[in-house]
A and B are shown apart, each in its own frame.
Chain A
Amino acid sequence: MAYYIFKRLVMALVVMLLATVLLASLAHLIPGDPVKLMLGPRASEEMSARVRTEMGLDDPIPVQVANFVIGLLQGDLGRDFATRSPVSNMISAALPHTVALAVASLGMAVLIGIPLGVISAARPSSWLDRTLGFLSVSLITVPTYVSALLLLLLFAVGLNLISSIGAGDFSDPVGYGKQLLLPATALALTWIGYLARLVRTSLLEILNQNYIRTARAYGLRERTILFTYALKNALIPTVAVLGVGMGNLLGGAVFVEVIFTRPGLGSLIYRSITQRNYPAARGAILVAAFLFVLANLIADMSYRYLDPRIRTWES
């Protein structure tokens, strides 16, 4: 196990490093002048030259990439192209809003999705199970921006229940929570459907196992069997998919934050890309990628920790 953890950690670090190099060299890999791209075709020669020197774009490409990686190790992601403030400041201002969004929607998905899965598995093939099954697929297939737009249309525009703009301030937790409700729901819907299905499948599989039959033979109540013995084991696979879930959340956050005009990592990525603000886009996407790699690492580790069979199987 220790060897596995070590190997996995080293791989994660290598991947992060390579992802950084890839992102730093992306602008050079694609034909065209990155400065022209940022300033637009009508930029003057002097302007372009100044920006080029300032950003170190006259250095050979490997030197530039190395400089970016070294800067990154010191927590320096370069300077924003438009406002000249450090990109790391922009990211640390945006990140808490995205973390709050991700935590809220994951929490929602767990609180709603898991019970739905249990209800389905308790009465397989009943009309309720079939209805929930269809509901789950439908939720899974709806793109995040469609759910966000429809929620916005229904609750903010149609019923005028919730203001759709901004995130509010952390100093006002109630107001912040209210503003979080719709965006988090939009992001959670896919996951509610996905968790419901996953829990149903894995619970049904476990209810067929010998130890459950033994528990039934002992005359334990069905409810005790379901919640105390089966559900615990059935939840293990959900841990394994949380890493993938994080990736989807980060991608979905771009849409949700743009649609609900929330400040956050997603809207920062969107804004910097549409403004051709290359340093900011590079930094924000890199941070998102790091979060994704980290989430996968944690999910993988906890899965192994929770399910001893995988450990024995590997050693």
Chain B
Amino acid sequence: MSVEETTMLAAIGDESFAKRTPVIRQLLYRPSAVFGLAVIAVLVVLLAFGPLLVPHPHTAQMISRRLEGPSADHWLGTDHLGRDLLSRLMIGTRVALGTAFPSVLAALLSGLVIGLVAGYAGGWLDNLILIAMDTLQAFPALLLALALMALLDPSINNVILVIAIAYTPGYARVVRAQVLSVKEEQFIEVERSLGAGHLRIALVHIVPNMLPPLLIMLAMDLPSAIATEAGLSFLGLGVRPPTPSWGTILSDGFERIRTTPWPVIGGSLALMITTLGFTLFGEALRDILDPRVSGSRRV
């Protein structure tokens, strides 16, 4: 059997495998996806049951035991107010996921609407929207978020809003490109000749067609959004203390880095494991849903 034949057979085998097997089963065949799923599962459990699982109440202060290193009682030590660091990190999941999910979802939805309008309408409206998106993207995402946060009060809702604004153009572009490529397909023409309205065509035929790439983007943007929130909070422009966020924990740790390394180590670990887990999961999802795309979209 020639090399070509073997690879062809392998490809055919893969294709039928992909068609037969549900996405979730395919994910379980990949170790990196299993790791990602495990991380996400732990985070979701912490999000839902965090207050029941923490070893100490995350607000309990013990000034006499401040800035302690790890011990049997406090696995990661205590912070500058004598609060249990591990408990604060666990509760910090709320802010991390509670900002990342809504902000990326909002970006996806507004990008969907903007991209649909641009791609479907075409003409001057399309051009106008393109230029507006270009202008927003002229700012590095973090700097746009910083500029907006400078004018808004630091709060979770504003962080969500700002991240959503920074991420919308990316989605709008992808949606627009997809609309343009699907719009001229024959089945759309047939549908139109049968008397379907614009809204029906857009919602029934165009949107379902572009869900896989949007889902992949969503999965890849979540870790970036988590990192952006923690970054803004680290700079004091996101979530404010006493709300525990991984960013504020890092910022507290940075201030006292010469006294104790543990807040920095703990906050770093939480962020690294989370972003790695989400990214590995997102990449596995991408490989399964869209094998043509290789390399990651965003850095």
Contact = CB atoms under 8 A, between A and B. Distances in A.
Contacts of A247: 140-141
B147 A26 contact: yes
A251 B142 contact: yes
Contacts of A157: 257-258, 261
A302 B268 CA distance: 37
Interface string B104-146: 0000000000000000000000000001101110111111001
Contact of A289 (B143, B265, B296): B143
B234 A255 contact: yes
Chain B interface helix/strand/loop/mixed:
helix
Contact of A201 (B135, B250, B265, B294): B294
A5 interface: no
Given A15-B131, A18-B131, A150 B264 contact: yes
Contacts of B272: 138, 141-142, 146
Interface in B230-266: 230-231, 234-237, 250, 253-254, 257-258, 261, 264-265
Contacts of B103: none
Interface stretch (B83-91, B194-202, B208-216, B274-282): B274-282
A43 interface: no
B299 interface: yes
A275 to B, nearest CB: 10
Interface in A155-197: 157-158, 190-191, 194, 197
A17 to B, nearest CB: 9
Interface string A120-151: 00000000000000100110111101100110
B271 interface: yes
A250 B140 contact: yes
A273 B237 contact: yes
A70 interface: no
Contact of A145 (B139, B236, B237, B250): B250
Interface in A223-251: 241, 244-245, 247-248, 250-251
Given A157-B258, A292-B138, A150 B268 contact: yes
Given A142-B272, A269-B146, A251 B261 contact: no
B143 A285 contact: yes
A35 interface: no
Contacts of B257: 149, 152-153, 157
Nearest to B268: A146
B135 A22 contact: yes
A143 B264 contact: no
B299 A248 contact: yes
Contact of A141 (B150, B223, B261): B223
Interface in B139-161: 139-143, 146-152
Interface range, A side: 35 or more
Contacts of B253: 149
Contacts of A140: 279, 296, 299
A176 B283 CA distance: 40
Interface range, B side: 35 or more
Contacts, number: 140
B291 interface: no
Nearest to B264: A149
Nearest to A156: B257
B175 interface: no
A18 B137 CA distance: 11
B295 interface: yes
B97 interface: no
A143 B268 CA distance: 9
Nearest to B139: A289
B227 interface: yes
A292 B223 contact: no
A39 interface: no
Given A150-B264, A251-B141, A11 B134 contact: yes
Contacts of B227: 143
A19 interface: yes
A293 B138 contact: yes
A110 interface: no
Interface of A: 11, 14-16, 18-19, 22-23, 26-27, 30, 32, 37, 134, 137-138, 140-143, 145-146, 149-150, 152-153, 157-158, 190-191, 194, 197-198, 201, 241, 244-245, 247-248, 250-252, 254-255, 258-259, 269-270, 273-274, 276, 278, 281, 285, 288-289, 292-293
| Top-5 shortest CB links A-B | A251-B142, A247-B140, A143-B227, A18-B135, A141-B275
Interface of B: 32, 131-132, 134-136, 138-143, 146-152, 223, 227, 230-231, 234-237, 250, 253-254, 257-258, 261, 264-265, 267-268, 271-272, 275-276, 279-280, 283, 294-296, 298-299
Given A194-B299, A241-B299, 5 more contacts: A18-B132, A142-B271, A153-B265, A157-B261, A270-B235
22 contacts: A11-B134, A15-B135, A18-B135, A26-B147, A26-B151, A32-B151, A138-B272, A141-B223, A141-B272, A145-B231, A198-B295, A201-B294, A251-B143, A254-B146, A254-B235, A255-B234, A269-B146, A270-B146, A273-B146, A274-B237, A289-B138, A292-B140
